[in-house]
Amino acid sequence: MVQKRLCFVMVLIPACLLCLPFQTEAQQATLKADFNGSGAVDFDDFFLFADAFGTRQGDAKFDAKFDLSGNGAVDFDDFFLFAADFGKKAGQTGGTRETSVYVADLLGDQVQVITQDNLSAGTISVGQPRGLAFAPDGSALYVAGVDSFYAFRADGKQDFALPVDTAFKVAVSPDGQRAYVTQEGIPELEAPGGLAVVDLRTKKLSKFIPLPGRPSGIVLTPDGKKAYVANRTPRMLVMDLTKEALKDSLLTINAAPSRIVISSDGGRAYLNNGIGDTINVVDTAISGGVEGKERIVQTFATRTADSLLVSSIQDLAVSADGKLIYASSFRVIMAFAPGSSDRVPTLIGELLIVDAGSGRVDRILLGENVGALGVAPDGKTAYVAFARNVTEGLEVAIVDLGTKKAVGSLPIAVQQPVEIKFRTVIR
């Protein structure tokens, strides 16, 4: 073993050194090659990697953390990934951050990709996509389709697919090793809903956890130990991901949430109301038990003085500092028809900006309907699926959050955009 390590070191140290002049000093969300947790990828990590080189799944010395490519072996694929991180330190700044917008188009059987300049960068063909998520380092795209889970490489080529009935949304663990896919189920056919666990290393389904209601929106805590699931009932489900089991259930009063977002520190979860005009806030530190009492710590009412017939908070986002909540809101009100004294049903689709401190609501009118919502990582721009009127097709609006005005639409043709996500890489 000593001889193998010595040969490996003699051959590959020069390769690592050659990589150093080309490293970009950039902010690293995670340094997967920092095996010893020192905050830097250096020769200490290299020697650990050298000891593991050549091992495979099933070997006594195999350790999955060295299998950076997830192919079941510690080989040259992993070395090249290691070399790309060699010399980097967590917290360094610089480089160029590039953010792309990804739009899941359910009826169009595609995921549209848009550059940070709001130009179309092509499409990824995929059957009925409903949920999107990325690997922590942005190297892979995961898609929840109506009947399948898909994994795509960064170049848009499919890596693998697995059958997952009624898949809705997807979240990925912070270490990039597992994907969690909500399955709505079909109550009319007695098909159970639940949470599918995908092992991204073996590319197989590892577990199905039955859950009540119709599981839909999902978020993970920053440490990846828990997940919160909205299931279109007055309860938010709390999953223990270490045990891969239902842990808790928090009552959310008169709401039917299908979307859920979480603050950057994990302290607050925000739920939409699919059958009303409220946004509920949950303190994630509070436990309730499976039959726990109400755990809502705050409710934001977004109603106006208009005579309201129907309302729904369609989708949610929260600012990085937790001070602002964004919501796509659909309402039907009774309003005066132009040139008439008669009130008629009027459809309103808006982007709402809610001040989490004061509760003040700013409204940006987009059209007669709205849907999926995404806020860019820099907090400057929102993208909202909307229809100018119900007789026209859907578009994706570009909203300047500084001026609080819609400034245009994405130059793409979509049939039913249902999820908007962002992928950021550092060049």
CATH number, domain with residue 25: 1.10.1330.10
* Same domain, residue pair 80 and 161: no
Report d(CA 237, CA 230) in Å as an integer: 6
CATH code of 316's domain: 2.130.10.10
Give domain status of residue 90, yes or no.
no
* Same domain, residue pair 180 and 64: no
Q: What are the φ/ψ torsions at residue 176 (nearest 5 degrees)?
A: 75, 15
* Buried/exposed code over 151-183 (b: 16+ C-beta within 10 A; e: otherwise): bbeeeeeeeebbebbbbbbbbbbeebbbbbbbb
Give domain status of residue 91, yes or no.
no
Q: Choose the final residue of a domain: 22, 54, 85.
A: 85
* Same domain, residue pair 142 and 49: no
Identify whether the C-beta of residue 274 lies closer than 8 Å to the C-beta of residue 258.
Answer: yes
* Same domain, residue pair 118 and 57: no
Q: The tokens of 244 are what?
A: 């891969």
- Of 21, 16, 41, 18, which is closest to residue 31 (Cα–Cα)? 41
Q: Choose the final residue of a domain: 85, 115, 146.
A: 85
Give domain status of residue 178, yes or no.
yes
* Same domain, residue pair 59 and 112: no
Q: The tokens of 409 are what?
A: 């639409």
Give domain status of residue 92, yes or no.
no
pLDDT at 45: 85
Report d(CA 70, CA 133) in Å as an integer: 18
Rounded to 5°, the CA angle 263-328-374 comes to 55
Q: How many CB atoms lie within 10 A of CB 359?
A: 13
Give domain status of residue 72, yes or no.
yes
Number of domains in the chain: 2
DSSP 349: E
* Same domain, residue pair 366 and 280: yes
DSSP 99: E
* Same domain, residue pair 69 and 125: no
Identify whether the C-beta of residue 236 lies closer than 8 Å to the C-beta of residue 259.
Answer: no
pLDDT at 27: 36
Rounded to 5°, the CA angle 129-419-297 comes to 130
Q: Is the dihedral of CA 203, 168, 105, 383 positive or negative?
A: negative
* Same domain, residue pair 9 and 114: no
pLDDT at 11: 47
* Same domain, residue pair 116 and 38: no
Give domain status of residue 369, yes or no.
yes
Give domain status of residue 285, yes or no.
yes
DSSP 302: -
Give the position of tokens 């799944």: 57
Q: Choose the final residue of a domain: 85, 115, 136.
A: 85
Give domain status of residue 271, yes or no.
yes
Pairing of strands 369-375, 361-367: unpaired
pLDDT at 91: 58
* Same domain, residue pair 80 and 21: yes
Q: Which domain holds residue 366?
A: 97-426
* Same domain, residue pair 118 and 183: yes
Residues of the chain under the 50 pLDDT cut:
1-6, 8-29, 290-293
* Same domain, residue pair 146 and 26: no
Q: The tokens of 132 are what?
A: 């999107």
